[in-house]
Structure formats: C-alpha cells, structure tokens
Structure 1
C-alpha cells in the first residue's frame, strides 16, 4: 500500500519516525555563547592559562602571556578562538619540554625573550617620540589670549577671545544657536495650537447657542483646562529658557576675567618688546620675514595708516601707469601724464591736433598713390607720350 493511499494516522506515524531518525543526526546549536560555557572556560583558564604561567621560562615571557590573553579576551568567533587556543597549547608543550631539559627549545625561548625585550624597547621609544610630537603640536596650537573679549550674547556670556578658538567653545555656540531656533519653532507651533483651541471653543459655543438643545462639548467647558494646561506649561518652560538667554546676554564681565585680559595685554607688549630686541640682535623671525615681504622698512611703515600702506605697496609692486594703479600713483605724487584730455593744456592739445592732421594727410596721399598704381596696372589710365 502506498503512502498516498494510507490513512492520516499512518502518515502522522511515518512523519514522526522520520523526524526521530533525523533529529539524532542534526547538530545541536546551544543558545548560550561558547565563551560562557564551562566546557570552554575551565580548560582555557585552569589548564592552558595557568599552565603557561607556571611553565614560563622567565618573568618577561610570563608578562607577555598575560598581555596576549588580555588582548584576545574579547574574541567571540569560534574559528579565531580555536586558532589562538591551538597556538597556546603548542606554546605550553614547548614550555614543558624546555623545562624538562630540551636544549634546542631553551635556546629558542631565550631568543624569544630577547625579541620581546626588543619589541618593548621599540614600543617605548615610539611612545616617547609620539608623546613629544603631540606635545609640540599642542604647544604650537595652544589657545592664547588675544587681549580682546567676546561680547555677551544670547548664546554666550562674556568670554575671552582665544586664538585658535577651542573646538568645544565653537560647538557650544553652535549647539545653543540650533537649540534656540528649535525653541522658537516649538513656541510658534504651541501658540498656533492655543489659537486653534480657542477657535474650537468659540465654534462649540455658537453651536450650543443656535441649537438650543443640550450640546456636549469636547473642547470647551470643563474640558478646556485638560487641553490648555499641557500646552501652557510647555510655553512657560520655553519662556523661561528665553529669559535665561536674556540674562546671559546681560551678564557683566567678571573681575577675574578683566584682570586676566589686562595681564594678557601687558604680556603682549612685553612679547613684542622681546621680539624687537631679538630682531635688533640679528635673529630672523617670522615677523622679520613678514616685514621683509612688505617692501618698506619698519620706520617708513610705522607712521602710515592701513590705507596709505596699501596704496604705497600697490604703487611699488606694479609697473603699470594706467587704470587703478595709475590713479593710485598720481594720488601719491608719481610723475605720470594724465589719461583724460580735459586736463591737457592748450599747447599740448594744439600739438596733438597738428600731429593728427599730418597723419591724416599722409594716409590720404598714400591711399591715392596706391589707387593710381592699381588702375595703371589694370590699363584704365592712358599715360601721355
């Protein structure tokens, strides 16, 4: 009898037999991770790790074993964990054989110990160099007082202006600006909801007045407080934040900050004095190179304002005599002829007119000779005998 023609009871019994046979061959996948099972932890900690520590040939190798186990304690992949466990068991076997008297393994472990010492020394020197470089970078880019004050605003109180400005101060200002914009949008939305609620209350009151019958209200009457109180409390909180912003903008400058700014200004004057003294001794500083690129000595630049300094630099660095450069040079007193004809005198204008007339007559006579020569070649003009 085939399975298709059998009764449902026989089919169910057949499926159970098949499932019972296959279930013994199916691999069991535990719900607990392997690194939490006692079958993994006990052999790893009490056999492998403890054995490696006891069989280590020296304290240096023992500390290296501890560091390796600390670095690999976060492995959660069974294949990778198996690779590390197999390597650990190979090391344990080598340690025990060397402890029993194997000279070759003893020499190998001695070289391994020297390699660990060399790696540690290399790591220590690398760390020292990196720390020195990072310290130099922090020194070159450390924030310093610029002797000025950031005025109080809605987003910050009185702050010293630092160069370069630290990232956390810039992030604070940006975060407060974004938060205030969001609060403004939130207040507008809540105010709109309050107006909508008032419109709904008026609408229900008009319906009740026109209908005359008993009208159940959903927004007005006793339900008005339940709708309005949460919105009003949110508006009160937002208004409190705006008041705190205004108080921050009106906060006076602390006396300690003023004293620090005064000290920074005195230090700036002293620093510039030391810089000039070093320049006078012949040292080439960044300020020296910057002044040399200006094109004028310091005693000439000192009495000039920024506008005059800019005009003199433009006139000195350009050889042009027309346009904006020519205008600047004329304003500074350079001997450059003017471009406009209105400023020419009568003698110069008459001389230019005579030259123009001579050039015009010369061009006309030359054109006539060329036209006569062309007609002669074409045979249009008969020459006299």
Structure 2
C-alpha cells in the first residue's frame, strides 16, 4: 500500500476538518436528551474515537470514520428535543403564527327554538269531556293557562287526599281516647249517667258548647265531607258528552275556519282588483264620507 496522500497530513486541511466535526459532536453529546450517565459515556466515546483515529493514514478507513461521525452528528441533531430539530420546526411553523385565526363554527340552534315556528298539533284530552269539565285539547307547545289549570286540579285533589288521611288518623286516636275514658270511668257528670245513653260523651268544661258531643266528631265530619265530594265527582264524571256531539262540534269548527279563510281571501282579491283598476280604496271612501258629513256654516 502506498503512502497516504499528502493532503491528509497537511495541517491546513487536517486540523480544520477534524475540529469542525469534533466540536459539534461534543456539543451534541452534551445536550442530548439522555440521562446524565449516558451523556457522559457518549462524550467519552467521541473523544476516544477521535484520539484513536488521530494517526490513521489509510484513505478508506479515514473516510469510514468521518462517515460514522457525520451520521452520529446527524442522529443527535435530529433528536426530537434537540436544538436543531426545534429550530427547523419553528421555521416550518412560522407561517402558522401569521395566519388568521379561523372563525369558530356557528353553534346549532337549541331544539326548543324549532317548536316556536311549528304549528300546534291537537292531542287527546287527559280528561273525559263532561258537562262540568270541557275537553282539554293538548297542544305542543302547551299554553301556560292550561298547565296551571291542570296543576290546580291536581293540587286540590292532593290536598283533599291529605286532609282525608289526617282525619282518619285523628279519628283513630279519638277512638283510642274514648276507649281509655270508658275503661277509667271518666265520663261527664255522675259515673252511671254516661252509660245510660249507650254512647260515650266527651267531658266539656263549664260554659262550653258541645253537650253530648263525642271525641272525633269533627274529624268524622271531615271524612263524610270528603266522601260526599268524591261521590259527587264520580256522578259528574259519568255525565260524559256523547261522541256524536263531539263530531258535530268538530265539523262546525272546521266549517267556521274555512269560512274565515274564504272571507280573508275575498278581501285580499278585492283590494288587488281595486289597486289594479285605480279605484279609490277604503281611505278615499272614508274621506269622502267624512266630507259629506261636514256641516257647512253660512
């Protein structure tokens, strides 16, 4: 093998080439995104490789060492957290900063807003139509007055049920009190007068009304009133409107709506003809009538 080319041993070429490759390798090995022991081992490996290759004279071996060093430097520079990699990303993404921000999409309308423009649709009534309760035509959206009417009916019924349950509970307590008074003999007046009538009476203080009144009579009156009202409601619910009357009323309502629509269409056509023929409208006729009614003074 012949001697190496003189250019490889010339200091003007050898020192700048090795220094331009050695210094970036040391910097990249120090700033590599690796643990501290790994960075220290990588830095030591770069130094050892350059120290062992310092006296090489074979052109192929020198070219192979330089190629490996360039590849190592390229791998370190292209690491995800390297300075070169971040610089390239900033250069490529610089146009995104000056780009105008896109307008956010228009949010869709809420589903409830579509109900405003929708025609109300009649629904079956929740109550049977009777002579005392007219048919409640359900519509979507439901009017506030109809909602409050249903709420008040349910509230009144619930109050009646609660009062009935309270009266039954108090009436049971009154029976217990009567039984205890009968067992202890705490009756009004003499001890034998209370049982002569066959009923237990409540002892009242002097001067108060209620002679002969039993314990719980007030609550028993609540129970009777609630029962009578319930029977009245049942009798009213049985007085239902016959179906043929429903059909006749529906037919009359449809006929009235058709007549109103036809009358509105005729008025619109009449105004259109008057405007086309140039005849005076309602304002002109009204002005003429007002002029005729004016009283001329001498």
TM class, shorter-length: 0.3 to 0.5
TM-score, normalised to structure 1, is 0.26
- Which structure has more relative contact order (CA 8 Å, sep 6+)? It is 2
TM-score, normalised to structure 2, is 0.33
* Structure that is richer in helix per residue: 1
Query: Of the two, which has the highest radius of gyration?
Result: 2
